[in-house]
A = this chain, B = another copy of it.
Amino acid sequence: MSALAPGSVIGILGGGQLGRMLAMEAAALGFDVHIYTPEEDSPAARVSARVTVAAYDDAVALAAFARDVAVVTTEFENVPAATAEILIASGAVVHPNPRALALAQDRVAEKQLFASLGIATAPFAVVDTREDLAGALHTIGAPSILKTRRLGYDGKGQARIASLGEADEAFASIGEAPAILEGFCAFEREVSVVAARGIDGSFAAYDLVQNIHQNGILARTIAPAPGAAAIADAANAMTQRLAEALNYVGVITLELFVMPDGALLANEMAPRVHNSGHWTMDACGASQFEQHIRAIAGWPLASTTRLCDAEMQNLIGADADAWQTLSADPNARLHLYGKRDALPGRKMGHVTRLKP
């Protein structure tokens, strides 16, 4: 694919804040955006030229969407395989490719890919039955974490197993769904790489960042991660290896645990722009959103140089009620997502504090 000309239509699956920020950056480069989402009045649709409100299994709507757009991307990894198939059968170019999306939907396949690429992880085992779980606990031991293979995010679909006796209860709490048992990682901290791979195979990572979670949801991202110099090259190399193995196009995120001895263990990948990359909107020339649009449009990747230190804080639920205070802070760059209801746990916006 040659570079998409300005005026081309970029299709985005999903109407949330990631789609919204992608749409705005696409528009800034002269593209029109078509949002496909089941949600009426979505945050992304309100900043886009066109919207299709339809289910992800609506073959007719998907085919029409595919015909309207020059390329399709997504704001979330849980795109049903059938959705991607219909889009491709209708002639759409889909970036990232369906294999990358499918892998990221299945914690087992993801971990197996990491292993095949020599990317270290916590010990893990496949759990389909109570017997599997018992066997896995024998090998991996407790404490450990049981996670559904599919559809987990922000700490959902997970159960911690502190001792062997909690196994059945934990399995029941995730609905006895197909799962993975992961050995508990006594990590020192979590970092992530947000990087992009272009259609020409070029690769560019933003600075390694450190992430702080609260209640299983990202609370803050520190850019750069303290002590990044010692680990960034290794983290970037893992991410590049992963992106190349997937023949990936777009922004990809790799979350890593940093162990007390400095070793890096891959936690999970996200085949998309990521909350831990929001700081790039204010502290880099080109944000992760522009970078993703550039990649999927076949444009050259932009510089990922960090212009100053930054800290991103998520505004979750009622946090966003502080907009008046935040808007008056001269060091705070406020971003609100246009969501109607500040439900508990809902990401309503974020604020980035620059440290020039």
Contact = CB atoms under 8 A, between A and B. Distances in A.
B307 A356 contact: yes
A45 B49 CA distance: 7
Nearest to A328: B300
Contacts of A320: 6, 30
A246 interface: no
B299 A30 contact: no
Contact of A294 (B7, B49, B327, B340): B327
A194 B31 CA distance: 28
A29 B45 CA distance: 16
Interface in A2-35: 3, 5-7, 20, 23-24, 27-32
Nearest to A21: B28
Given A24-B28, A24-B47, A333 B285 contact: yes
A5 B323 contact: yes
Interface in A312-337: 320, 323-324, 327-328, 330-331, 333-337
Given A46-B27, A336-B29, A330 B303 contact: yes
A90 B195 CA distance: 51
B330 A302 contact: yes
B300 A30 contact: no
Indicate how many identical chains form the complex: 2
B27 A47 contact: yes
A143 interface: no
Interface string A43-85: 0011111000000000000000000000000000000000000
Contacts of A31: 338
Contact of A282 (B46, B285, B327): B285
Interface in A106-120: none
Interface of A: 3, 5-7, 20, 23-24, 27-32, 45-49, 282, 285-286, 294, 299-300, 302-303, 307-308, 320, 323-324, 327-328, 330-331, 333-338, 340, 349, 354, 356
4 residue pairs, one from A and one from B, having the closest CB atoms:
A30-B336, A46-B49, A300-B328, A303-B330
Given A29-B336, A300-B328, 12 more contacts: A3-B327, A7-B338, A23-B47, A24-B27, A28-B335, A30-B337, A282-B285, A294-B327, A299-B327, A302-B330, A307-B307, A307-B308
13 contacts: A3-B327, A6-B338, A20-B27, A27-B47, A29-B334, A30-B323, A285-B333, A286-B333, A300-B327, A302-B330, A303-B330, A307-B308, A307-B356
